Amino acid sequence: MNDLPLDSATRHALSDLADAQGRTVDDVVADAVRRYLREEQRSVREAAERLADAHADLLRRLGE
């Protein structure tokens, strides 16, 4: 899990960003992955809530 197949331009950009922030590339990547996961989890949760609301009557009838 420690090796990511990134092109050289992305690796260079990560290295530059890490250097500018005084952080390691690993820290920058880990932070980006955590942010991505939070956003995707929020998006999936919102979609599930919309579906549950849209089909609330059906779900209620199935539960009877």
Model confidence pLDDT, tens digit, residues 32-46: 999 999 999 999 999
Domains of the chain, by residue range, sit at 24-63
6-29, pLDDT tens digit by residue?
999 999 999 999 999 999 999 999
Q: pTM for the whole thing?
A: 0.76
DSSP string, 1-64: -------HHHHHHHHHHHHHHT--HHHHHHHHHHHHHHHHHHHHHHHHHHHHHHTHHHHHHHH-
Token pair, residue 2, equals 């420690």
Cβ partners under 8 Å of residue 9, min gap 6: none
